[in-house]
Chains A and B, each alone.
Chain A
Amino acid sequence: MVFKEGRIATFFALVIVVGAILYFINRAKIGKISKIRKIPGLIAIEEAVGRATEMGGSVLFIPGIGGLTTVEGPETLAGISVLNYTAKLCARLGTKIVAAIRMPEVIPLAEEAISTAFRMEGKFEEYRPDMVRYLSSDQWGIATGAMGIMQRERVKANIMLGFFAGEALALAEAGAVAGAIQIAGTATNTTQLPWFASICDYCLFGEEVYVAGAVLSEDPIQLGSIAGQDVGKFMAICLITIGILMYLLKVDWLIRLLKI
């Protein structure tokens, strides 16, 4: 077994973070539940679905434009977890939900997330296959399709969570024009965050997107894993602080160590 060049330090950093996550998961299993801060954007989902119900409108959910086989996969999965939660609320309140999909491989996951939610709420007979709509594999194809749905189907709650690119601005503006309460979040493509933050009512940044499913599930084991991530943050803060001091003292062994 031979390490690939330049990946040894990364491997041990990963081992520490994963070790911490597993430790906190095990802690949660024995009843020591970590306290996780509330994320306003996630709390607002219930309010958004409730508002759409009161106004007789529908809920549009877009789990990003990323696929599953690319680097955007985790963001898409995070979006699907929140879709499951949103669909449960819609099933409970009898609100129409539509999931707009770009990448075809996401269709079965979205169908499973929504049908499971309706089954769990005891309303499986209300589940319709057209709740999951593949619009187009083209970036602007899904954008125009979703913008059309917002107008035609009186969308009053627009939830966008996953990987988004240039179409983020157009989607958020269309949602605002439709008068929908908007909750949006994206992680890796940080250049889209300013648009979501300025146009949408609630915005989830970076890490918040990935933990959304775990926070909404209220499953102690999943919440424990979030606490484990904080060890990684603490490690990063320490490394940054020590790195700044060493840089000022013109000592470079830490940089060389991290590059091995």
Chain B
Amino acid sequence: MSIFKRREIPVIITAFSGFLMVIEYFFTIPLVASISTGIREWASLIAAFAVGLGATNLGIIHASRVRHRRENWYLSAWLLFVMVLMIIVGIFGTTKHPLYDFLFANVYSTVGPTMWGLLAFYLASASFRALRVRSLESLLLLISAILLMLLSAPIGGIIPGVTVVANWVQNVPNTAGMRGILLGTALGAIGLSIRTLLGYEKGYLPE
């Protein structure tokens, strides 16, 4: 396919779908509503098909590692084995199969909460890094952090004024800052969308 088609066709599809979505958001036009519903369904379908693309990407990369006996190749072999096992059990035994259920409940479901648990330790090390006073800004950050920690801890309630000041820090300067960032974010998203819909944003397109 020529570069023209490879660049122009995606831009045309993006622009058509994008403008249709904008019209559907603001106006009640039955025809537009039905077309945009169809596009959304197609988008979900394509995204679902892309899972196959992901599995192919994983398969190619890790099979190559095993074949060439690269460093830690046995980890790639293990990944491929588990992936194929889950696919076979899922397809032939359905997701209600006891083995699938066992693997899901005892492997997959336990790994996620483990990582959430690890966050507590990461929080401690990140806080140590963040709360070193090296400037006026970091001093303010430290004071705010102490106030908010006291607010969450039982001891905060018995120290006079802590609750009031900590709530003020959370609700006034913190909320104002966050809303300022969100305002810029919304405008940035509009700008990026316009550039994408008009084909000016080229980072993901072939040159």
Q: Which A residues are closer than 8 A to B by beta carbons?
A: 1-4, 7, 10-11, 14, 17-18, 21-22, 25, 67-69, 74, 77-78, 80-85, 101, 103-105, 107-109, 112-113, 115-116, 119-120, 129-130, 132-134, 137-140, 143-144, 152, 166-167, 169-170, 172-173, 176, 187-188, 190, 193-195, 197-199, 205-211, 213-214, 217, 219, 221-222, 225-226, 228-229, 232-233, 236
Contact = CB atoms under 8 A, between A and B. Distances in A.
A77 B125 contact: no
Tell which of B126, B196, B201 has the most Cβ of chain A within 10 Å: B201
B131 to A, nearest CB: 8
Given A7-B26, A206-B182, A207-B184, A214 B195 contact: yes
B129 A176 contact: yes
27 contacts: A1-B29, A4-B28, A10-B26, A21-B190, A21-B191, A77-B196, A77-B204, A84-B204, A104-B53, A113-B204, A116-B205, A116-B206, A129-B61, A130-B64, A134-B53, A137-B51, A144-B111, A170-B119, A170-B122, A176-B129, A199-B126, A206-B182, A207-B181, A213-B192, A213-B203, A219-B202, A236-B187
Those 7 A-B pairs whose CB atoms lie nearest each other, nearest first: A81-B203, A198-B130, A210-B188, A104-B54, A207-B188, A207-B184, A104-B50
B158 interface: no
B53 A206 contact: no
A84 to B, nearest CB: 4
Contacts of B129: 176, 198-199
B204 A80 contact: yes
Interface stretch (B40-48, B86-94, B161-169): B40-48
B123 to A, nearest CB: 7
Contacts of B51: 104, 137
Contact of A2 (B28, B185, B194): B28
Nearest to A18: B194
B191 A210 contact: yes
B141 to A, nearest CB: 8
B201 A4 contact: no
Nearest to A199: B126
A169 B122 contact: yes
Contacts of A134: 53-54, 57-58
Contacts of B135: none
Tell which of B71, B123, B187 has the most Cβ of chain A within 10 Å: B187
A228 B191 CA distance: 8
Given A199-B126, A199-B130, A206-B184, A137 B206 contact: no
Nearest to B54: A104
Contacts of B190: 14, 17-18, 21, 229, 232
Given A132-B57, A206-B188, 16 more contacts: A3-B27, A7-B25, A7-B26, A11-B26, A80-B204, A103-B50, A104-B57, A116-B207, A198-B129, A198-B130, A206-B181, A206-B185, A209-B188, A211-B188, A214-B192, A225-B195
B127 to A, nearest CB: 8
Tell which of B40, B51, B58, B188 has the most Cβ of chain A within 10 Å: B188
Interface string B31-42: 000000000100
Given A210-B192, A232-B190, A108 B203 contact: no
